[in-house]
Each structure stands twice: as C-alpha cells, then as structure tokens.
Amino acid sequence: MQRITIKVLLGCSALMLAGQSCTNLDETTYDVIPTSGTFGTTAAQQAALIGPLYSGLGDYYGNLTNLNTTTDEQIVPTRGGDWKDGDNWVRLYTHTWDPVTDNNQFNGPWNWCYNNITSINQQLGTIKDAGVIAELKTLRAFFHYEAMDLFGNAIIADQVSAGTPKQSTRADMFAFVEKELLAAYPNLSSTVGGAYYGRMNKYVADMILAKMYLNAQVYTGTPRWADAITRCNNIISSGKYQIVGDFFSNFVTQNQNSAEIILATPFDKSKRTGFQVQMQNLHYLNQLTYNLGTAPWNGFAAVTEFYNSFDDKDIRKKMWLVGQQYKADGTPLMDDAIPLAFTPEIPSLVLAAGAPGRVAGARSVKYQIQTNNTFTSQDNDFVVYRLADVYLMRAEANLRLGNTATALTDVNLIRKRAGMADFTTLTLTDMLAERGREMAWEYHRRQDQIRFGTYGDAKRFKAKDADSHWTLYPIPRDQLALNPNLKQNPGY
C-alpha cells in the first residue's frame, strides 16, 4: 500500500520568525490508499465507488425538460427577441425538428445515457458484492431504457469495449433491459429512504418494468398489460410508500421525506446544482416576488388547452401561476406601466415584443419556488417516479383489460386527493386526461401520448403530423459520424 504522510511542521514559520528552529519531523499517518485490487471490499469503499455514478442520474431533469416541449402540455413561445434561439422551440413544439439543425437537442440525451452506461461498466469490474452489482446493473438498465424510449434502435452496452458498437433494434433493447432487471431483482435491496434515497432498489426496478410493460405494445408490438399490473402490485402491496395527503408536499423545497416518492434525483442549490425550474418559468420581475438573487428567464408556459383541462375545484390547478403578480411586500407588479398579470391565453407561438407577450401563458409552480434564494438553482429534488403514477398505471392496464370497476377504484383514489368527485364511468380519453392533470410536467407526457395515439394530433399552432416517425427522436448527427454501425431512424 502507498502511504500518505504529512510532515508535522505546524507553527514552524512563527517559530522561525522568533529566531528559533523547528526540528520535530515525526510523520503522522492520516490515511492510506489501498491498491486497486483490494479497494471496493468494504461498504464505505463501495459507497465511494457508486456515489459518483448517481450524479449522472440527476441530469434526468436537464435532459428531458426541453424535450417536454414536444408534448401538448408545455410550450416555449418566442417573446419578441427572447427565446428565439434559431426557432428551436418552435420546431420542437410543432414536430418539425431537424436532425442536423437540432442535433444538440438530441445529442445531449444520447450522451447522457451512454456516458453514464460507460461509467457504470468501468466500475462493475471492480465490484464483488452481489447487491452492489445488482444495483449498478439496474442503474445501467435504467439508462438503456431511456435510450430505447427516446431513440428506439440504439446500442446495448453491457461491457467496456474499445470497438465500434453495433446498433440494436428496439425490441432487442427491450429484451435486454427486461432480462437485466429480472436477473438483478433478487439481489436488490428492499430498503426505502435513508441511505437508499435516490438509489436503485427492488421497487425502482418494479417501476421501470411496469413502465416498459405498459408501453410494450409501442416498443415491441405485443401488449403486456397483465405484467404491468403485477409490477404495480409489487410496489403497492409492499406498503413501503403511501399517497400523501398534500399533493404539493411531493414538490416542496425539502421534499426528500415524502412517503410517496419512489425515485428522485437529489438537488442542492450550491452543491448538486441544475434544478432551475424557477428560472425557466417565471417572469423577469418575479425576482421581486420571491426575493431571488437573479431575474428569471420568462420562458416555459402551459399550453392553453392543457391548463383549461383542470377544473376550478381541482386542487392540482394551483400548480399554475396566473393573474396579478406582486412584490414580496404585496405591491402589485407592473410591466411597462401595465399590470403584470399572467393570462392562460397564448395568442401566438411567436409573440411580438412588449408586455402582453411577456405575460402570456400560465406558469408552473408545481415545484415550490425557493424564496430568498441567491442561487440560480433550487434545493427541490426532482421526482422521477412516485406512487400516484403506480395507481394510475395499474388503473390504465386494468381498463385496457376490461376491468373497469377495478380501474375506477385506483383512479378515484387519486382524484379524491385532488378534491374531485369520483368518476362513475371511465374511458381511455378520461384516463389520459387524468394522467395529464396528476403527472403534469413530470416528463411522462410524451410516452403517454404515444401510447394513447395522440402525440401526433393537432394542437394549438400545430397541424396534425403526416406520419408517425416523430414518435422517435433522430439518432444524433454526431453519433452517426462517430459510429458507422448506426443507421438513422426512418423518416429523417
């Protein structure tokens, strides 16, 4: 072992200035660095190895937030010269993105998946503990699942390789992820929270499998509704999670103790930065509302029809900020001498410069805005999976199997918390709408719309798609240039 030693010379400079010398050079050993062959054998060493691998999971938010603009729930209007960005946001919203012009929108998520997969593969060779291996393989499976969902025909990377990897079909990607999760499952921890907060355990694996089975008809051509129900049952019957009484407690600044969260990506405004929801959504002058250190960017908003899908009695409608805005002291805010009042109506995808365009669109405050925050990031952890989604997935799978009464029980459990009356009948249209209201801006909408067949439908400022190739994003141009084995997805 190589020893790290520090010569004890404290106080020498002061003594020398006094005309004396320091002669005590005894060595004190504070720590040792084991050789690579022995590191990773203790729990503390294993934590040191896998901890950095979870940092990449935090980029889930950053990589999917822009792509949510392709759905019917989020819009980023051009506001005069603001948010012009080469019409990037217009193309995302109208499903007219271009593989070359918009390469960076897709290359980022691709690299997010495969850079993390590579890092995991590099560490797997040093781990001996079966539980840690299962955890890392589940994390690796999560990134493969995301690549499969976003790009379809992607790469299976199950080991470190110096060669050029081949492209796999979406069906093969599905089979690989399923096999990896099922093999890892027995060795995964059933511990929830504490040291396992934000980490892979049995229930996160169940959640990934449930998502895969719910979308299996899209991914493979074969529905797997019953399998989705089985995985949802595993989570619900475990008793490890609860539907919390306050919907918004899942999204407060310190939301890490919510009993409803199955998987979240931890953020900290100064240490693990990147959660900037307040900067994306709020008007510049909302800086004075929340005493923020930096003016927000006034960008993202709710599509008008999506906002209008919320009943006024629905508690969840409070996730949208509309109406007159105020300073922290209660003084009404003005923009160019007119009241700064957000309106749900967005009259155009490209708005003229001026105050009316700056206030168009309801803004999301689903995640609590952190007041008196001098940083551009917030402390809220971003929720990837939570129990309400499990109930809604189980309800949908039962509805598709004809078990309407069972589906109603699950859906109405979620509606009750929102202060809404029970459904007495339930259609697939109802199901999609309820998922939208409950899961808004949690980045499941694209997947939901594709599964329900509405992703290409006409929406405000967008004509209906001519074909379905938009349900897959293009293989990034950068990746095609690097790997001759990759072929572009059809239609691009």
Looking at residue 45, what is its pLDDT? Answer: 73
b/e map of 308-328 (b: 16 or more CB within 10 Å)? ebbeeebebbebbbbeebeee
All residue ranges of the chain with pLDDT < 70 are 1-43, 46
Question: Looking at the domain assignment, is residue 489 inside a domain?
Answer: no
- Is residue 147 one of the residues assigned to a domain? yes
Task: Give domain status of residue 474, yes or no.
Answer: no
**Of 324, 285, 281, 274, residue with least CA distance to 302:** 281
Q: At residue 33, what is the residue type? A: I
Q: Indicate whether 195 and 281 sit together in one domain.
A: no
* Other beta carbons within 10 Å of 59: 18
DSSP 3-state of 350: strand
> Does residue 389 form part of some domain?
yes
* Residues 28, 10 share a domain: yes
Are residues 297 and 389 both part of a single domain?
no
Quick check: is 491 in a domain?
Answer: no
Residue 205 inside a domain? The answer is yes
pLDDT reported for residue 39: 62
What pLDDT was estimated at residue 43?
64
pLDDT tens column, 172-228: 999 999 999 999 999 999 999 998 999 999 999 999 999 999 999 999 999 999 999
Name 363's bridge partners: 321
Whether 125 and 64 map to the same domain: the answer is yes
State the CB neighbour count (10 A cutoff) for residue 228. 25
Q: What CATH number does residue 119 fall under?
A: 1.25.40.390
- Judgement on whether residues 156 and 59 belong to the same structural domain of the protein: yes
Tell me, what's the pLDDT at 40? 60
First vs last C-alpha separation in the chain: 55
For 2, counting Cβ atoms within 10 Å of its Cβ (0-12 exposed, 13-18 middle, 19+ buried), the class is: exposed
> Residue 10: what pLDDT?
31
pLDDT at 466: 80
Q: Quick check: is 330 in a domain?
A: yes
**Per the domain annotation, does 55 fall within a domain?**
yes
Does 283 lie in the same domain as 414?
A: no
* Same structural domain, 204 and 96: yes
Domains contained in the chain, number: 3
90: region left, alpha or beta (phi > 0 left; psi from -120 to 50 alpha) = alpha
Q: DSSP labels for 67-131?
A: GGGGSSSEE--EETTBT-GGGHHHHHHHT---TTTTHHHHHHHHHHHHHHHHHHHHHHTT---HH
Q: How many residues does the chain have?
A: 492
- Note whether 46 and 132 are within 8 A (CB): yes
Residue-wise pLDDT tens digits, 121-159: 999 988 889 999 999 999 999 999 999 999 999 999 999
Specify whether 222 is located in the same domain as 307. Answer: no
**Token pair listed for 337:** 């001498």
Domain membership of residue 260 as a residue range: 43-269+383-455
User: Are both 323 and 389 inside the same structural domain?
Assistant: no
Boundary residue ending a domain (379, 397, 418): 379
Whether residues 281 and 191 fall in one domain: no
Same domain, 321 and 334: yes
Residue 364 CB coordination number (10 Å): 23
- Same-domain check for residues 295 and 398: no
- Domain termination site, one of 312, 344, 379: 379
Final residue in a domain of this structure, among 311, 345, 379:
379
